Amino acid sequence: MKRFIQTIKNIFKIEDLRSRIIYTLGIILIYRLGSYVVLPGVDPGQLAQLQAQAQDGLLGLLNMFSGGAFANASIFALGIMPYISASIVIQLMGVAVPYFQKLQKEGESGRKKINQITRYLTVLITGAQAPAYIANLVSQLPPEAISPFDPLTTSPTTFFVVSSVVILIAGTMFVMWLGERITEKGIGNGISLIIMIGIIANLPFALFAEFAARIAGQGGGLVVFLIEIVVLMGVIILCIMLVQGTRRIPVQFAKRIVGNKQYGGVRQYIPLKVNAAGVMPIIFAQAIMFIPITLVGFAESEALSGIAASFSNFTGFWYNFTFAILIILFTYFYTAITVNPNQMAEDMKKNGGFIPGVKPGKKTAEFIDNVMSKITLPGSFFLAFVAVMPALVSIFGVTGQFAQFFGGTSLLIMVGVVLDTLQQIESHLLMRHYDGLTKSGRIKGRTSSAMGMAG
């Protein structure tokens, strides 16, 4: 406790770090206040039906990512997810489209061009999602809840629809801008922090709802609730292990899994990790799983049929089976585009490094590729298991709101963002010769690059 208090004092002794933290908190406050600003023309006192619709299911997941703005009919109702979807599309195009590959090699100018294209694509995606959100809003609210209703057609006026779409687009772009300001002048990754804050904002309500459900009637009582908390702590530890992964694979272990009997020294490592893709496969897969509910205009699952209903029920078998398969595939895909065995082999050769018993150059690249392929499989299954945990715990009667915190995209994002942010704070402390946040001073976030090289 004494060490923690001293660390807090050290943080506020560093003027630059103190300013960055205060600036970040200020931006987060603006974002949270904006999530309660209701669209013009909508009566905030009559949102009960919309809020009930967004309590659980896939719409509950959408509402969680927007920090409750979805259920509040807020100007930030669509949140940052359109920007995330646009970023994913641009990343995929960077693999398949030569023009984007060329931009990626142009350094800072190419990066600015890619960011500009991403913003334009965000506007298009938000423009496609906004009418669906308005249609769902109109279907959920009584006519008197929307003041610009046309009394002759019992439908909202064109002005209301057009203005709301424009406001929703502007709201998403403003949230994106807030995230960029945090990244530039604050602490941590702004977009990730905004997503995390939106998720955390729902935690107290979900926790209270689960507690109330357990102590009421045949809910199981306080003992069952405490067991759930213990299980949640265990899942958090699993997520920390998954996000941090292993930063160095022993050469001896690497050779064993590829069937090579010529072991190297136990103190030699190659810079590979079991989960090289981090949480990106889950984010990729989640963005795709949101498509069906968007296409049907955010309609309730009970009103759907066939494939649309199956892929709109986030606790259903087919939704989670498809979700898990997509995560496994995206884990291999994202690992393939982020880990380049040929480049690693070339770097090792230039730096005088080598893997004992393996020839430098092409043979080393083939060895690394073989190892990476084999260790990615258990990593992808582990990632898929954590992602479908909310559906698994819901089988045991955990409420929909609270189940979302037992893994899935939400918990992994929270763990990853917290570790990244703490890592940045610790870097500021260590640079000024203060003690870090931990005794070892080695917090490893998703972006940590402390990896050893064989040789």
pLDDT tens figures, 181-240: 998 888 888 888 888 888 888 888 888 888 888 887 656 778 888 888 888 888 888 777
Tell whether 172 is covered by a domain. yes
Question: Per this entry, what is the length of the chain?
Answer: 455
Angle at 423 between CA 420 and CA 424, to 5 degrees: 90
> Same domain, yes or no, for 253 and 318?
yes
Tell whether 10 is covered by a domain. no
User: Could you report the per-residue pLDDT of 14-36, keeping only the tens digit for each?
Assistant: 888 888 899 999 999 999 999 99
> Same domain, yes or no, for 140 and 269?
no
Tell whether 282 is covered by a domain. yes
pLDDT grade for 173, boundaries at 50, 70 and 90 = very high
> Same domain, yes or no, for 164 and 208?
no
> Same domain, yes or no, for 179 and 217?
no
Tell whether 398 is covered by a domain. yes
Domain end position, chosen among 157, 186, 215: 186
Handedness of CA 359, 363, 364, 368 (dihedral sign): negative
Report whether pLDDT(307) > 70.
Answer: no
- Give pTM, 2 decimals: 0.76
> Same domain, yes or no, for 238 and 324?
yes
SS3 250: strand
User: Could you report the per-residue pLDDT of 330-359, keeping only the tens digit for each?
Assistant: 888 888 877 778 887 887 777 777 777 778
> Same domain, yes or no, for 151 and 214?
no
> Same domain, yes or no, for 182 and 215?
no
> Same domain, yes or no, for 158 and 281?
no
Residue 395: predicted pLDDT: 80
> Same domain, yes or no, for 387 and 445?
yes
Tell whether 12 is covered by a domain. no
Taking residues 92-114, report their average pLDDT: 84
Q: Which helix (H) or strand (E) holds 249?
A: strand 249-250
Q: By residue range, what is the domain housing residue 55?
A: 17-186
C-alpha 271/C-alpha 248 separation (Å) is 5
> Same domain, yes or no, for 178 and 198?
no
Handedness of CA 13, 448, 177, 171 (dihedral sign): negative
At 431, which amino acid appears? M
Please enumerate in sequence order all residues whose Cβ is within 8 A of that of 418, keeping only pairs 6 or more positions apart, or say none. 196
Query: What are the distances in angstroms from CA 334 to CA 88, 319, 340, 388, 431?
Result: 11, 22, 11, 20, 33
Distance of CA 267 to the CA centre of its chain: 35
> What is the distance in angstroms between the CA of the first residue and the CA of the last residue of the chain?
42
> Same domain, yes or no, for 236 and 90?
no
Residue 133: predicted pLDDT: 87
C-alpha 310/C-alpha 292 separation (Å) is 10
Strands (E), 20-159: 149-150, 155-156
Domain end position, chosen among 186, 221, 254: 186
How many domains does one find in the chain? 2
CATH code at position 257: 1.10.3370.10
Domain end position, chosen among 168, 186, 204: 186
> Same domain, yes or no, for 160 and 215?
no
Tell whether 6 is covered by a domain. no
Tell whether 29 is covered by a domain. yes
Report whether pLDDT(246) > 70.
Answer: no
Lowest mean pLDDT among 33-37, 139-143, 151-155, 378-382: 151-155
Tell whether 4 is covered by a domain. no
